[in-house]
Structure 1
Amino acid sequence: MPLWTWTAQGAGLTLPVFEPWNDPEAKPLIEFQNVTKRFGEFTAIDDLTIGIYEREFFALLGPSGCGKTTLMRMLAGFETATEGKIYLAGQDIAPVPPNKRAVNMMFQSYALFPHLSIWDNIAFGLKREGMPKDDIGERVENMLRLTRLEKFARRKPHQISGGQRQRVALARSLAKAPKLLLLDEPLGALDKKLRQDTQFELMDIQEKTGTTFVIVTHDQEEAMTVASRVAVMDNGKIMQVATPDRIYETPNSVYVADFIGDVNIIDGTVTPTGEDSYALNWKEGQEPLTVKTPNTFSDGQTAHLAIRPEKVTITADRPEGADNAVQGKILDIAYLGNISTYHVELPSGAVIKAQAANTRRISRRAFTWEDTVWLSWTATAGVLLAN
């Protein structure tokens, strides 16, 4: 199977799908092989093995202290692995000093030179490398066009906005045409609206240049927006690596399900009821839940049903024919503009969240606090997890 697969879209149209990780013959650009990094007695990275492919936009996602920045610093050459090997394009990069690696790093602070113009900031690394003057001029102009900064070329960093400074730092990092660009929380200093706009600019620039991007972030929405694949980390280990939709829809653990997006976790024990079908015995006094899953569980095994609030339907009357239906009272309502999230307390004391889209601009709220409502979902709406 080639790096680029093709799928039919619509009436006779085809669109490329970039999935080298599904090609057994594709070799990763970056390979971590059993890498461990210790600081004294503290293990920051624990026996980690992973591959990142050329042209990927790869996200390392996790809470503070999970090891994602240490992983990036080892790629950049600022830290050395205690055990294991790191390869870039097939070369063991351990003996290669940071300034000799085909890697550039873009920091959260941008680290621009305040006394230099935007043009000179972008040209700085090229001049240090001794690139011919004419070539520098051409490369800088290309970078200015790519990042839409042509009219700001003669300004100083303090004379442009935060979003524009972020693009200058990106242009400077890409000017040397690295094989790999590392982005350490690059949008953390921007406000929410500007951050969202800049995410799409980053994706567009990455696609145009074909450079492999690895981004470190604790912002799950950012990772899910920009990345071709996301690695969710915890305590120096990678918990799951998958495309954003797979991470969200089919998490492999309660930790990943809980870390990505909003979720209800219902604990219980399972009883097999047929092929790929189980009854989840959860709260005393509540009917068992019906769950369909390809994962195999034994009779009486503890399991956790992870179900997203948007998969839960809220109604005034008990829905007919629903696989699962529970009754409760509305405890809290969060109005978020496009959606409303309802926190519904069941007689057992359990609280389940349901979401409903606010499709009309002006309408009376269908449900309010203390209303008795029914929540329902299909047997396949959730993911049944062993841990």
Structure 2
Amino acid sequence: MSQTVFAPWADPDQKPLIRFENVTKKFGEFVAIDDLSLDIYEQEFFALLGPSGCGKTTMMRMLAGFENPTSGRMLLAGQDIAGVPPNKRAVNMMFQSYALFPHLSIWDNIAFGLRRDNKPKDEINARVEEMLKLTRLEKFARRKPHQISGGQRQRVALARSLAKAPKLLLLDEPMGALDKKLRQDTQFELMDIQETTGTTFVIVTHDQEEAMTVASRVAVMDEGRIIQVATPADIYEAPNSIYVADFIGDVNLFNGTTSPEGDDRYAVHWAEGHPPLIATSAQPFSDGQSSHFAIRPEKIAISTERPTETANVLQGKVLDIAYLGNISTYHVALPSGQIIKAQTANTRRISRRAITWEDPVWLSWNATAGVLLDR
């Protein structure tokens, strides 16, 4: 049985849950969001990713109702929500600080919003129990927030945010306070909960790994603009600019000029006295056009013998080796002075490895391994 791929953004008949139409947000003279248009679909786990000050938190605050656009329209399920107060929107926000009530039990923290809406008692009881079960907190219902761990507090905040069944849940750096191991476990829990409830999640993060793990699509932002919106795989494998390639993961960049070689193949002239690099690109480049060739370290093979039968071969010298347990990253200096990173999986014991510091080595990759960029 084939599983259907979740990609509502690729279906022209799907209506977005959230639509930003030419939204600009200014604070005095400062432009925080610059003429931004974006569609987010129901049941998406959507990540806004970018450095501090890129506008991602401003977008979230506008969705939550704490800020209104200076110009443009913001629609939720087809309704313009500018000016609608936060408590009248089908939107909930989970803050970085979790903002739990310290004097209330976990149970009462989750029930808080439902009680404020004057829901019937049995309905509140049923909903809180359901949320405790969803977030695996049944055992902790009677405890106070200070009596449970940081990861459990995070789940209480999530349960409380989901209790009112919002159409949209906004998560502002939700895992910022957790250590790395717990953070990774929590990411998978979040994905499971999002899938179980079918709620649309929009997460703000500056952690690329987090965005790549949890999101159905990622919007990479810079200075109030969206540079690229795509699935994590496309953002990583097919970035549309140096900014995106460099922002996500490690990348080697060669700057040069291209000349066509026929059949989507190009030669990239990158250093005087060095053979050009051979790359493929579906996007056309003209002869002599300045371009940037980006290649991930794991796509580059490193060897002590000169490889044959491969499109690109460079020689260099090992400057540094970063041993990360499962992988090793080699920093190799080319004769041009450029430093290239190549990565290998450590499948053998360390004593069996052939390459060490100062060794002359060959770097190689095929024509389709990298991506040619025009900006």
State the TM-score, normalizing by the size of structure 2. Answer: 0.99
One of 132, 144, 151 as aligned partner of 1:156: 144
CA contact (8 A) 1:290 1:323 kept: yes
Tell me the SS of whatever aligns to 1:188. Answer: coil
Which consecutive unaligned segments of at least 5 residues does structure 1 have? 1-12
Per the TM alignment, residue 204 of structure 1 is displaced from its structure 2 partner at its CA by 0.1
Aligned AA for 1:293? Answer: S
The residue aligned with 2:270 is 282
Per the TM alignment, residue 62 of structure 1 is displaced from its structure 2 partner at its CA by 0.2
Distance 1:134 1:275 in 2: 68
One of 45, 51, 60 as aligned partner of 1:57: 45
CA contact (8 A) 2:311 2:366 kept: yes
The residue aligned with 1:385 is 373
Asked if 1:220 corresponds to 2:208, the answer is yes
Tell me the SS of whatever aligns to 1:183. Answer: strand
CA contact (8 A) 1:317 1:374 kept: yes
One of 291, 315, 320 as aligned partner of 2:279: 291
CA contact (8 A) 2:68 2:83 kept: no
One of 267, 273, 285 as aligned partner of 2:255: 267
Distance 1:162 1:364 in 2: 42
Distance 1:301 1:154 in 2: 67
The residue aligned with 2:10 is 22
The residue aligned with 2:199 is 211
Aligned pairs for 1:167-206 (under 5 A) are 167-206=155-194
CA contact (8 A) 2:65 2:83 kept: no
Aligned AA for 1:27? Answer: K
The residue aligned with 1:9 is none
Per the TM alignment, residue 360 of structure 1 is displaced from its structure 2 partner at its CA by 2.4
Per the TM alignment, residue 158 of structure 1 is displaced from its structure 2 partner at its CA by 0.2
Aligned AA for 1:109? Answer: S
CA contact (8 A) 2:132 2:138 kept: yes
CA RMSD, 1 decimal = 0.7
1:292-335 CA distances to partner (integer Å, 9 max, x unpaired)? 11111111110000100000000111101110000000011111
Aligned AA for 2:164? Answer: K
Aligned AA for 1:296? Answer: P
CA contact (8 A) 1:117 1:153 kept: yes
The residue aligned with 1:304 is 292
Per the TM alignment, residue 366 of structure 1 is displaced from its structure 2 partner at its CA by 2.0
Per the TM alignment, residue 361 of structure 1 is displaced from its structure 2 partner at its CA by 4.1
Tell me the SS of whatever aligns to 2:4. Answer: strand
Distance 1:210 1:293 in 2: 38
CA contact (8 A) 2:33 2:223 kept: yes
One of 359, 363, 372 as aligned partner of 1:371: 359
The residue aligned with 1:46 is 34
The residue aligned with 2:119 is 131
Aligned AA for 2:31? Answer: T
Aligned AA for 2:143? Answer: R
CA contact (8 A) 2:48 2:205 kept: yes
CA contact (8 A) 1:35 1:83 kept: yes
The residue aligned with 2:236 is 248
1:175-223 CA distances to partner (integer Å, 9 max, x unpaired)? 0000000000000000000000000000000000000000000000000
Tell me the SS of whatever aligns to 2:63. Answer: helix
CA contact (8 A) 1:285 1:348 kept: no
Tell me the SS of whatever aligns to 2:152. Answer: helix
Distance 1:95 1:195 in 2: 35
Distance 1:332 1:237 in 2: 37
Distance 2:40 2:306 in 1: 48
Aligned AA for 2:32? Answer: A
Tell me the SS of whatever aligns to 2:335. Answer: coil
1:124-150 CA distances to partner (integer Å, 9 max, x unpaired)? 000000000110000000000000000
One of 65, 70, 78 as aligned partner of 1:82: 70
Per the TM alignment, residue 15 of structure 1 is displaced from its structure 2 partner at its CA by 1.6
Distance 2:193 2:146 in 1: 24
CA contact (8 A) 2:45 2:214 kept: yes
Asked if 1:69 corresponds to 2:54, the answer is no
Asked if 1:347 corresponds to 2:335, the answer is yes
The residue aligned with 1:6 is none
Distance 1:65 1:197 in 2: 28
Tell me the SS of whatever aligns to 2:5. Answer: strand
Aligned AA for 1:81? Answer: P
CA contact (8 A) 1:303 1:384 kept: yes
Per the TM alignment, residue 362 of structure 1 is displaced from its structure 2 partner at its CA by 5.0
Distance 1:353 1:264 in 2: 7
Distance 2:100 2:351 in 1: 50
Aligned AA for 1:352? Answer: I
Identical-pair percentage = 77
Distance 1:286 1:81 in 2: 52
Distance 2:350 2:339 in 1: 29
One of 62, 69, 94 as aligned partner of 2:82: 94
Distance 1:284 1:160 in 2: 62
1:63-90 CA distances to partner (integer Å, 9 max, x unpaired)? 0000000000000000010000000000
Distance 1:219 1:239 in 2: 17
1:259-300 CA distances to partner (integer Å, 9 max, x unpaired)? 000000110001111121111000112111111111111111
The residue aligned with 1:145 is 133
